[in-house]
Amino acid sequence: MVTATEAGPAPSGFGLRKKVIPAALVAALTSPLAYVTLERLEGNVLRVYADKLAGGIPTYCAGRTDWQAKVGTRLTSDECREVNKATLLEYGYAVLGCTDWNQLTPGRLIGLTMFAVNVGKDGACSSSAVRYINAGRVGEGCNLLAYKPDGAPNWSYAQGVYVQGLHNRRLAERELCLDRGPA
């Protein structure tokens, strides 16, 4: 077991109910698979830009958002590497704060973390997917990342418009959640 402080301090306000995070889960959040998946799904943009799909919120590196960031600001690869590490830990800790750890595998944690990075911590934690996973209905919960119960795409719309790229992302997150590896 690794304490949250050994993995880096847990961000405040994320509701970690337990003091000791299983080492395999901490390792997942800092693994090459997590970094590669984050950059593959989000890109790694070395400047701050207004994300049109997210209502113009300033975005940089691998999907980091911040209303205070100045659009046009340039970052180095090293700066983005640190930002991306912080993003993985912040969103990963949020997922750990709202999930039953007994239902998590390293791959599932990475998939749910990627989902949270994209839809927000509150969106992920209040989702039916997480509720089902916490109830032990893991397969159904993972499927809800990409599909509604009626089979329609889930979490694949921006401003009410279906976006194939978002659905492709949901499919990749679903595969990780099902612990089948990256799609």
Torsion over CA: 61, 2, 122, 148 (sign): positive
Average pLDDT over residues 117-132: 97
Q: How confident is the model at residue 20 (pLDDT cuts 50, 70, 90)?
A: confident
pTM: 0.87
Q: Which domains does the chain have, with CATH numbers?
A: 2-177 (1.10.530.40)
Give the pLDDT band of residue 69 (cuts 50, 70, 90): very high
Residue 123's pLDDT band, with cuts at 50, 70 and 90, is very high
Contact 166, 146 (CB under 8 A): no
**Does the pLDDT value for residue 146 go beyond 60?**
yes
Find the Cα–Cα–Cα–Cα dihedral 57, 58, 63, 66, rounded to 10°. -90
